A and B are shown apart, each in its own frame.
Chain A
Amino acid sequence: MFNFLSTETLGIIALSLRMTLLSTAIASIIGVPFGLWLDKAHFPGKRFIVLFNRSLMAAPPVVVGLVAYLLLMRSGPLGFMGRLFTFEGMVFAQVLLLTPIISGLVYNAAHRSAANIRAFAKTMGATKMQTQILLIRELSNDIYFAAVTGFGRAMSEVGAVMVVGGNIRYHTRVMTTTISMLRNRGEIDVAIFLGVVLLIVAFAVQLIAGFLRKREHRTDENF
């Protein structure tokens, strides 16, 4: 039987938050520079890369989980690391899922305004480094928004972590996989409790996103 606020339940909530934060951070570290680079770079096949990235943004989590599983399984290319059914394995799967989302959103934002920012930086006589700093500062709302979107996706995702993590008690059990398991067992009360916690986190994330959108909207005002 599950207890509300038991050590196990709190552990599940903590593990979920830790996994989500870590995977969002890693995916942002990879995705943000990649999105910015993709906007600036010109090479044959760029359109295909952009299209492929967009396709990955909508990839079903369970498919991404399967890919991560195939990479991490004992006979897979990363099998020697022994990370299948571990916390690190789940983070790996989520990074695969989130990176295209974050890079895609950053690319779209950069595609919309980076050329103007770079041109402006040139007219101001900014160095390359100063231009990069300006670019990141001016796109910071979009970058936050991309990270927040990634965080929300990671928090609510069940397919990939279920496939790679295996929902092992005290080890890889997170909120979404627990809710799914409890529903199967008929222990609806704890499932609802975890669902509410998940909703509160999602609400907090949306509040941040809403704040960012509001700030962005303000930029269009003209008196």
Chain B
Amino acid sequence: MKIFRLKKDFEKFSLNIDSLDMSEQKIYGIIGPNGCGKTTAMKLMAGIMQPDSGVVDSGGLTARDITMVFRKPYLMHESVLKNLLYPLKIRGITPDMQYIEHLLELSGLQALRDTYALTLSGGEQQKLALMRAVVFSPKLVFIDEGFSNMDIESIAVFEEFILKMQAKSKLTWVITSHQLSTIRRLCEHVIFMHAGEVKAQGNTEEILSSPQLPELKQYLQFV
């Protein structure tokens, strides 16, 4: 994915990304303080929001190959299972129920499969949204603070799941999180954003272990 002179203006905020190059089949992390533009950048990259100017080249991927999970995910007024099967249904794919059961078991939602999805707790909703996002094997997955409501054990399970899936299917992931442990464990590359701009990017360990920018130093001090 290549981004070139991306610009999006809001009343009180402006996003400007001069250039960003992300290789396929890698896991990227985007970090930065609240309101720095992480979610906006992701929405623009995922094609959910249109930029005022600039180019997002997703390397031939179509909307059907890209998905995004929000911190507060949208769940349909349906059961857990129907939510999980929705992306397959709209693609006319017959679900592999063994795999579906595996996903439900992994996310601890097996007993809740027939439960009305909107009655799930915040963490359970995030687990369901993450499973639903990967059930149709997309090629590019954006996760915007998708673990923020989960307990520590569940975060570890999902991190493991992403790493296993990555080893097997080689997707491209872009993840935002304020939990640096998650970023360190999952992401090979990290992008630091501040005030609507990309201020630093590179190898995760290099960026996080020896920050050069004062803004990054300050951010890492409080995370």
Please tell me which one of the listed residues A122, A123, A137, A140 contacts residue B133 in the complex, with CB atoms under 8 A apart.
A123
In the assembled complex, B126 has its CB within 8 A of some CB on chain A: no
Q: Let me know if B122 and A222 touch, CB within 8 A.
A: yes
Q: Let me know if A122 and B63 touch, CB within 8 A.
A: yes
Q: Let me know if A223 and B119 touch, CB within 8 A.
A: yes
Interface size bucket, B side?
20 to 34
Query: Which B residues are CB-close (under 8 A) to A127?
Result: 90
Cα distance, A122 to B46, chains bound together (Å): 9
Q: A119-B48, A125-B87 are in contact. Are A138 and B77 (CB under 8 A)?
A: yes
Q: Let me know if B74 and A120 touch, CB within 8 A.
A: yes
Cα distance, A140 to B70, chains bound together (Å): 24
In the assembled complex, A67 has its CB within 8 A of some CB on chain B: no
Query: Which B residues are CB-close (under 8 A) to A124?
Result: 67, 86-87, 90, 132
Query: Which A residues are CB-close (under 8 A) to B74?
Result: 116-117, 119-120
Query: Which B residues are CB-close (under 8 A) to A117?
Result: 74
Majority secondary structure of chain A interface residues (helix, strand, loop or mixed):
helix
Q: A122-B47, A123-B133, A125-B90 are in contact. Are A222 and B67 (CB under 8 A)?
A: no
Interface size bucket, A side?
20 to 34
In the assembled complex, B65 has its CB within 8 A of some CB on chain A: yes
Instruction: Report the minimum CB–CB distance from B193 to chain A (whole Å).
Output: 21
Please tell me which one of the listed residues A126, A140, A220, A222 contacts residue B121 in the complex, with CB atoms under 8 A apart.
A222
In the complex, residue of chain A having the shortest beta-carbon distance to the beta carbon of B125: A222
In the assembled complex, B219 has its CB within 8 A of some CB on chain A: no
Query: Which A residues are CB-close (under 8 A) to B4?
Result: none
Instruction: Report the minimum CB–CB distance from B40 to chain A (whole Å).
Output: 13
In the assembled complex, A108 has its CB within 8 A of some CB on chain B: no
Which of A117, A122, A223 is most buried by chain B, counting CB atoms within 10 A of its CB? A122
Query: Which B residues are CB-close (under 8 A) to A220?
Result: 118
In the assembled complex, B186 has its CB within 8 A of some CB on chain A: no
Q: Which A residues form the contact surface with B (CB < 8 A)?
A: 116-117, 119-120, 122-127, 130, 134, 137-138, 140-141, 218-223
Q: Which B residues form the contact surface with A (CB < 8 A)?
A: 43, 46-48, 62-70, 73-74, 76-77, 86-87, 90-91, 116, 118-122, 132-133, 136, 138
